[in-house]
Amino acid sequence: MNQSISGVWQRVLGTQPDPPRWLVLSCAAVALLAILPHPVWRVSRNVVTIAHEGGHGLIALVTGRRLDSIRLHSDTSGLTVSSGRPSGLGMILTAAAGYLAPSLLGLGGATLLATGRITALLWISIVLLAAMLVMIRNAFGLLSVVLTGGAFFAISWYGSAQFQAAFAYLGIWFLLLAGVRPVIELQRKRRLGGARDSDADQLARLTGVSALLWVALFLVVSLACLLVGGSQLLA
């Protein structure tokens, strides 16, 4: 039993060989195909919503707020509710975390992959999804997180080394690339008079800084993460 547990830890904490370059590039191409066509994006965007709402929830906890609930909806919208001061740094960071989370998670994942820690990345993802699952308060959200976590577990436990690498690289390319599109969509909605209670507009009310500048910050950070993370994956 102890040897079995030790073997699992060695597997999780150890390093794996870098995948061939063709696989890395293929994963980037498949990730783009999951983002650019609108019919596919309507489904794949649910993964971004998990990261977005998870980002709100994580930063709420880190800044000392009480996380009450997370809801994920089939239209790819979501809602994270936390309690605490209605203003101040904690509230600002919590509101800002959503649109930044997919890209920052992608950058963190790219750093792990660049050091050969493919299995560690998969298991860190499982732990984060399990922690998020505890706070989900609607059926679609539960289904989304369970299916996503189940896919990570099945591939990390039963998948071959190359299949694990393909899944990990595909997921990180997706987060890096997909982190940009919701920001563009947000500004498009704002320009058309919608999304009046968006994260950017809430931040504008909290800080007095224009919502457009917050959207610009989201875009700059997401593009920077894509540039740095993509360079790490291709190195």
Work out how many domains the chain is built from and give that number: 1
Residue 127 has pLDDT above 70, yes or no: yes
Cα Rg of the chain, angstroms: 18
pLDDT score at 5:
60
**pLDDT tens-digit series, residues 163-183:** 999 999 999 999 999 999 999
Residue 200 inside a domain? The answer is: yes
Kindly indicate the confidence band of residue 193, based on its pLDDT and cuts at 50, 70 and 90. confident
Q: Are strands 78-83 and 66-72 parallel, antiparallel or unpaired?
A: antiparallel
pLDDT score at 2:
53
For the chain, first and last CA: distance in Å?
39
Work out the burial of residue 43: count CB atoms within 10 Å of its CB; fewer than 13 is exposed, 13-18 middle, 19 or more buried: exposed
Residue 2 inside a domain? The answer is: no
Average the pLDDT over 82-89 and give the result: 93
Tokens of 108: 């963190």
Residue 82 inside a domain? The answer is: yes
Average the pLDDT over 139-143 and give the result: 97
- 40 vs 35: CA distance, rounded Å: 7
For residue 231, how many other CB atoms are within 10 A of its CB? 11
Work out the burial of residue 32: count CB atoms within 10 Å of its CB; fewer than 13 is exposed, 13-18 middle, 19 or more buried: middle
Beta-bridge partners for 81: 69
Helix (H, G, I), strand (E, B) or coil at 75: coil
Residue 122 inside a domain? The answer is: yes
**pLDDT tens-digit series, residues 15-59:** 788 899 999 999 999 999 999 999 999 999 999 999 999 999 999
How high does pLDDT run on average in the chain? 93
pLDDT score at 16:
83
DSSP-derived letter for residue 16 is -
Residue 9 inside a domain? The answer is: no
Q: Could you please report the per-residue DSSP string of 93-142?
A: HHHHHHHHHHHHHHHHHHHHHHTT-HHHHHHHHHHHHHHHHTTB-SHHHH
Residue 13 inside a domain? The answer is: no
Beta-bridge partners for 70: 80, 136
Residue 3 has pLDDT above 60, yes or no: no
For residue 108, how many other CB atoms are within 10 A of its CB? 16
For residue 42, how many other CB atoms are within 10 A of its CB? 12
Residue 12 inside a domain? The answer is: no
- 39 vs 32: CA distance, rounded Å: 13
Domain assignment of residue 45, given as a range:
18-234
Residue 201 has pLDDT above 60, yes or no: yes
Residue 93 inside a domain? The answer is: yes
Helix (H, G, I), strand (E, B) or coil at 34: coil
- 130 vs 64: CA distance, rounded Å: 20
Q: By 3-state DSSP, what share of the chain in percent is helix, strand and coil, each rounded to 5? A: 75, 5, 20
